[in-house]
């Protein structure tokens, strides 16, 4: 049973966290309507947002590496018990990946306006 959990943890990181890392890194360099630089924003706001996103992506990378090394190492060495901190790192990694994916979504197209009925003359 524990081997299955370790395999599922490794698969969860590969399927969810690593694509979120790619999406988040693409979002840093993307120019578009929802880019990092807002039209009325100052340079310091841009730097703060950029540093925050970079730190988040770096944390996802480190947590993913930790979980993958621990789970694959436990599978290779046939260890049955992982340290409990690996489970905490896995959950935190998935939560951060969800945050990156949900905040990096493509912008929705603007809603179409209703046509006003012409006033009777």
DSSP string across 19-54: HHHHHHHHHHH--STT-SS-TT--HHHHHHHHHHHH
Q: How many domains does the chain have?
A: 1
* Cα-based torsion angle of the residue sequence 57, 22, 84, 71 in order, rounded to the nearest 10 degrees: -140
- 40-49, 84-93, 108-117: which range is least confident on average? 108-117
Looking up tokens 């046939």, which residue turns up? Answer: 78
Is residue 114 assigned to a domain?
no
> What is the mean pLDDT of the segment spanning 47-75?
91
Q: Which domain holds residue 7?
A: 2-30+48-103
Identify whether 64 is part of a domain.
Answer: yes
Q: Say if 21 falls within a structural domain.
A: yes
pLDDT tens sequence across 71-110: 999 999 988 788 899 999 999 999 999 998 888 766 666 6
**Within a domain: residue 40?**
no
The pLDDT of residue 31 = 53
Note whether residue 115 is domain-resident.
Answer: no
């Amino acid at each position: 049973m524990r081997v299955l959990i370790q395999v599922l943890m490794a698969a969860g990181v590969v399927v969810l966290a690593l694509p979120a890392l790619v999406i988040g890194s693409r979002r840093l360099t993307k120019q578009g309507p929802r880019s990092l630089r807002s039209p009325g924003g100052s340079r310091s706001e841009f730097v703060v947002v950029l540093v925050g996103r970079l730190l988040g992506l770096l944390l996802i990378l480190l947590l993913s590496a930790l979980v993958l090394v621990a789970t694959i190492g436990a599978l290779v060495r046939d260890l049955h018990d992982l340290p409990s901190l690996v489970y905490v790192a896995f959950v935190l990694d998935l939560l951060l990946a969800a945050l990156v994916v949900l905040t990096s979504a493509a912008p929705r197209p603007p809603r179409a306006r209703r046509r006003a009925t012409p006033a009777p003359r």
